[in-house]
């Protein structure tokens, strides 16, 4: 009697556990959840790249200072700094093109192309 009750309870617990696992996995595979996961990964990657760029910038400044000291180009207290990062507005300006769109909306030659 106790054996049957034990195995019945064990089977019921295993069924509940498996159902919960499957439902969680299905929720993770829904499009909204996948989009949120991708966005989180993109933000995390951006933060890592920024930290890496800052580390590289600091390493460059240190190495430049070492080289200047080794070559005797500057006094020890006269360290040069790297330029500030470019502003976002400068990076987002579109480049002019020599192709124009016609009445049909298709780009074609304008006659101003460099050959």
Among 4-8, 18-22, 46-50, 89-93, the least confident range: 89-93
Q: How confident is the model at residue 22 (pLDDT cuts 50, 70, 90)?
A: very high
Q: Is the pLDDT of residue 80 over 70?
A: no
Q: What pLDDT digit, counting tens, does each position of 36-73 carry?
A: 999 999 999 999 999 999 999 999 999 999 999 999 88
Distances (CA, A) of 112 to 27, 79, 94, 104: 56, 48, 18, 20
Distances (CA, A) of 41 to 28, 31, 54, 60, 97: 15, 15, 20, 28, 35
pTM over 0.95: no
């Amino acid at each position: 009697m106790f054996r049957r009750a034990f195995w019945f309870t064990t089977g019921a617990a295993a069924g509940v556990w498996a159902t919960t696992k499957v439902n969680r996995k299905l929720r993770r595979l829904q499009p909204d959840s996948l989009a949120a996961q991708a966005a989180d990964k993109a933000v995390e990657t951006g933060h890592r790249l920024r930290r890496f760029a800052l580390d590289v910038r600091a390493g460059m400044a240190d190495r430049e200072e070492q080289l200047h000291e080794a070559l005797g180009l500057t006094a020890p207290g006269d360290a040069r700094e790297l330029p500030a990062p470019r502003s976002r507005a400068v990076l987002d300006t579109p480049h002019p093109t020599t192709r124009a769109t016609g009445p049909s909306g298709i780009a074609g030659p304008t006659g101003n192309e460099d050959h």
